[in-house]
Copies of this chain bind each other. A is one copy, B any other.
Protein backbone atom coordinates (compact mmCIF):
# COMPACT_ATOMS: atom_id res chain seq x y z
CA UNK A 1 0.00 0.00 0.00
CA UNK A 2 2.78 2.42 0.94
CA UNK A 3 4.50 2.17 -2.40
CA UNK A 4 1.17 2.67 -4.18
CA UNK A 5 0.55 5.84 -2.18
CA UNK A 6 4.07 7.10 -2.93
CA UNK A 7 3.64 6.32 -6.61
CA UNK A 8 0.30 8.10 -6.80
CA UNK A 9 1.82 11.11 -4.99
CA UNK A 10 4.57 11.29 -7.59
CA UNK A 11 1.91 11.37 -10.30
CA UNK A 12 -0.21 13.89 -8.43
CA UNK A 13 2.57 16.33 -7.46
CA UNK A 14 4.59 17.22 -10.53
CA UNK A 15 7.87 19.04 -10.03
CA UNK A 16 8.84 21.28 -12.97
CA UNK A 17 9.88 24.78 -14.03
CA UNK A 18 7.42 27.70 -13.92
CA UNK A 19 5.25 28.08 -17.01
CA UNK A 20 3.46 31.24 -18.09
CA UNK A 21 0.05 29.60 -17.55
CA UNK A 22 0.83 29.03 -13.86
CA UNK A 23 -0.58 32.47 -13.06
CA UNK A 24 -3.99 30.85 -13.64
CA UNK A 25 -3.09 27.99 -11.33
CA UNK A 26 -2.66 30.09 -8.19
CA UNK A 27 1.07 30.87 -8.44
CA UNK A 28 0.70 34.46 -7.20
CA UNK A 29 -1.76 33.45 -4.46
CA UNK A 30 0.83 30.92 -3.26
CA UNK A 31 3.49 33.66 -3.06
CA UNK A 32 1.08 35.70 -0.95
CA UNK A 33 1.54 33.07 1.77
CA UNK A 34 5.24 34.01 1.83
CA UNK A 35 5.23 37.80 1.99
CA UNK A 36 3.68 40.99 0.63
CA UNK A 37 2.55 40.07 -2.86
CA UNK A 38 -0.05 42.31 -4.43
CA UNK A 39 -1.96 40.96 -7.43
CA UNK A 40 -0.32 41.78 -10.76
CA UNK A 41 -1.95 42.06 -14.17
CA UNK A 42 -1.46 39.42 -16.85
CA UNK A 43 0.73 41.92 -18.73
CA UNK A 44 2.95 42.57 -15.70
CA UNK A 45 3.25 38.84 -15.07
CA UNK A 46 4.15 38.09 -18.67
CA UNK A 47 6.70 40.93 -18.80
CA UNK A 48 8.52 39.63 -15.69
CA UNK A 49 8.24 36.02 -16.91
CA UNK A 50 9.86 36.94 -20.25
CA UNK A 51 12.56 39.03 -18.54
CA UNK A 52 13.50 36.07 -16.36
CA UNK A 53 13.45 33.74 -19.35
CA UNK A 54 16.27 35.72 -20.98
CA UNK A 55 18.54 34.56 -18.13
CA UNK A 56 18.07 30.93 -19.22
CA UNK A 57 19.63 28.53 -16.72
CA UNK A 58 20.90 31.49 -14.66
CA UNK A 59 17.44 32.05 -13.17
CA UNK A 60 15.07 29.15 -12.64
CA UNK A 61 11.76 29.01 -10.78
CA UNK A 62 10.63 25.58 -9.64
CA UNK A 63 6.97 24.81 -9.02
CA UNK A 64 5.08 21.76 -7.85
CA UNK A 65 1.64 21.35 -9.38
CA UNK A 66 -1.11 19.31 -7.78
CA UNK A 67 -2.40 17.98 -11.11
CA UNK A 68 -5.63 16.72 -9.53
CA UNK A 69 -6.51 20.31 -8.65
CA UNK A 70 -4.53 22.12 -11.40
CA UNK A 71 -3.02 24.16 -8.59
CA UNK A 72 0.56 25.27 -7.84
CA UNK A 73 1.20 24.13 -4.26
CA UNK A 74 4.94 24.80 -3.82
CA UNK A 75 7.60 27.00 -5.37
CA UNK A 76 11.11 28.37 -5.00
CA UNK A 77 13.67 30.11 -7.22
CA UNK A 78 17.41 30.02 -7.76
CA UNK A 79 19.66 32.40 -9.62
CA UNK A 80 23.25 31.85 -10.52
CA UNK A 81 25.75 34.54 -9.59
CA UNK A 82 29.01 34.70 -11.56
CA UNK A 83 32.05 35.72 -9.58
CA UNK A 84 35.78 36.36 -10.01
CA UNK A 85 36.69 34.56 -6.76
CA UNK A 86 37.07 30.78 -6.61
CA UNK A 87 38.61 30.65 -10.07
CA UNK A 88 35.75 32.62 -11.66
CA UNK A 89 33.31 30.43 -9.74
CA UNK A 90 29.52 30.51 -9.54
CA UNK A 91 27.12 30.56 -6.58
CA UNK A 92 23.45 29.61 -6.53
CA UNK A 93 21.10 31.85 -4.54
CA UNK A 94 17.82 30.25 -3.46
CA UNK A 95 14.91 32.63 -2.85
CA UNK A 96 11.18 32.65 -2.17
CA UNK A 97 10.52 29.04 -1.14
CA UNK A 98 6.94 28.43 -0.01
CA UNK A 99 4.57 25.49 0.32
CA UNK A 100 0.78 25.95 0.26
CA UNK A 101 -0.69 25.72 3.76
CA UNK A 102 -3.02 22.93 2.60
CA UNK A 103 -0.14 20.82 1.24
CA UNK A 104 2.33 20.75 4.10
CA UNK A 105 3.78 17.57 5.62
CA UNK A 106 4.34 15.91 2.24
CA UNK A 107 7.99 16.85 1.81
CA UNK A 108 7.14 19.23 -1.03
CA UNK A 109 9.42 21.94 0.41
CA UNK A 110 12.27 19.45 0.51
CA UNK A 111 11.59 18.55 -3.13
CA UNK A 112 11.70 22.22 -4.17
CA UNK A 113 14.95 22.85 -2.24
CA UNK A 114 16.43 19.69 -3.77
CA UNK A 115 15.42 20.70 -7.30
CA UNK A 116 16.99 24.16 -6.86
CA UNK A 117 20.19 22.87 -5.21
CA UNK A 118 20.57 20.23 -7.94
CA UNK A 119 20.18 22.93 -10.58
CA UNK A 120 22.93 25.01 -8.93
CA UNK A 121 25.23 21.99 -8.72
CA UNK A 122 24.59 20.94 -12.33
CA UNK A 123 25.29 24.45 -13.64
CA UNK A 124 28.70 24.31 -11.97
CA UNK A 125 28.18 26.28 -8.75
CA UNK A 126 30.64 25.57 -5.93
CA UNK A 127 27.92 26.29 -3.35
CA UNK A 128 24.29 27.25 -2.96
CA UNK A 129 23.09 29.68 -0.30
CA UNK A 130 19.85 31.07 1.09
CA UNK A 131 18.60 33.28 3.89
CA UNK A 132 15.88 32.10 6.25
CA UNK A 133 14.37 32.75 9.65
CA UNK A 134 15.57 30.87 12.74
CA UNK A 135 12.24 28.99 12.59
CA UNK A 136 13.17 27.46 9.22
CA UNK A 137 16.74 26.53 10.16
CA UNK A 138 15.87 22.93 11.12
CA UNK A 139 14.02 22.42 7.83
CA UNK A 140 17.02 23.48 5.75
CA UNK A 141 19.36 21.39 7.88
CA UNK A 142 17.25 18.37 6.85
CA UNK A 143 17.87 19.50 3.25
CA UNK A 144 21.65 19.36 3.80
CA UNK A 145 22.32 23.05 4.55
CA UNK A 146 24.38 24.44 7.43
CA UNK A 147 24.16 27.83 9.08
CA UNK A 148 27.08 30.07 8.20
CA UNK A 149 26.64 33.83 8.33
CA UNK A 150 24.02 36.43 9.20
CA UNK A 151 21.84 38.38 6.79
CA UNK A 152 21.78 42.18 6.89
CA UNK A 153 19.12 44.26 5.15
CA UNK A 154 18.45 47.89 4.23
CA UNK A 155 14.95 48.82 3.08
CA UNK A 156 14.27 51.66 0.66
CA UNK A 157 10.49 51.60 1.00
Report which A residues bind B (CB closer than 8 A).
27-28, 31, 34-38, 40, 44-45, 47-48, 51-52, 59, 77, 79, 81-88, 91, 93, 95-96, 117, 120-121, 125-134, 137, 140-141, 143-157
Contacts and interface: CB of A to CB of B under 8 A. Distances in A.
A121 B156 CA distance: 7
Copies of this polypeptide in the complex: 2
What is the interface of chain A mostly: helix, strand, loop, or mixed? Answer: mixed
A117 B156 CA distance: 9
Tell me which of A117, A127, A129, A152 has the highest count of chain B C-beta atoms within 10 A of its own C-beta: A152
Contact of A48 (B31, B84, B129): B84
Given A145-B152, A154-B145, A155-B127, A88 B40 contact: yes
